[in-house]
Each structure stands twice: as structure tokens, then as C-alpha cells.
Amino acid sequence: MAESEVNDVISLTSCDDTIGKQICELFRKKAAILKEDIAIVNKAVHDLLVKGVKDTTKIIESLRQLINNKAANFHCTKVLPANICAKIKILSEKFGIPSLKVKSTLLHYFATGITKMTDLYNAVVQFIISHWKGSGNSNISYKLLHTFLYQDGKRTIVY
């Protein structure tokens, strides 16, 4: 088979044809959860085939790394407005919750189906407050929370 014919076959080969529809759908769902274009899965498989990678185990591992890299670069602003993300960051810092833990919790909630902004925001705020309460740091509890949640008599964060 000539090289041009090989390239034609590769260009017509989809992820489903290469590693199976069920596995590809799983990677597409993960990409969608991360608010990425699901076409990245097919493109990644296509690029690997062009490079001569044919081992399905290597292709799956490469897709896993791609999704993990996308998850590592996941930012709050992909699912919530910047001003809300800023409030979450301030709240987590005030209560001593590591930002990486808050980020992974936000991603987890989003991935498990909480996609409405207010519900997502409230779930993350509840996580921060419940995690903080569990730390036994009751000296600053109510006063700090009240100061942060209310400014000029108006509630700034809904939870």
C-alpha cells in the first residue's frame, strides 16, 4: 500500500474504529465535563495513528494523559464567572482551605452533574465551610463567617 493510501485510511479511521466506541465515549464525556471540545479525542487518536502508534494500550494511555493534563489545567472560570471564582478563592484563603482542594472539589461537583451556577457555587461554599468547621478552629468561626458573608448589611454570598 502506498503512503498516500495509508494516510487516506488513517484519515478515515475514527477513535471508535481504533479503540472501541465505548472507550471513546468515556473519553469524550470526560472532555465535555472539562468544557473541552470532544473532537480533541478523535484528533489525538488521529495524530497517534499518523505517528505510527497502533498499540491500543498506548493510545488509551495517551488519551488518559491528555484528559489528565486538561483536568490539571481546569480553572474555576470555565464553569463560573470570574467574580464568583474570586469570592470562592477569598473564602477558601480566609478559612485555610488549600486552593487545590477547592479546585478538585469544584471539578468533582461539576463532573457529577451539578452544572447550574448557583448550585455549583453553593456546593463549593458548603464544602469550604464544612471542611473548615471540621478543623476545630472555632475561635474565628461565626464572626469571620458573618463578616465575610455580609457587607453593609447585604448578603454577599448565598449558601
Cell of 103: 479546585
The pLDDT value recorded for residue 154 is 53
pTM of this prediction exceeds 0.75:
no
pLDDT above 70 coverage of the chain, percent: 75
Pair 50, 18: CB distance under 8 Å: no
- Residues (pLDDT < 50) of the chain are 1-2, 4-9, 138-140, 157-159
Pair 38, 73: CB distance under 8 Å: no
User: What is the separation, in whole angstroms, between the first and last Cα of the chain?
Assistant: 64
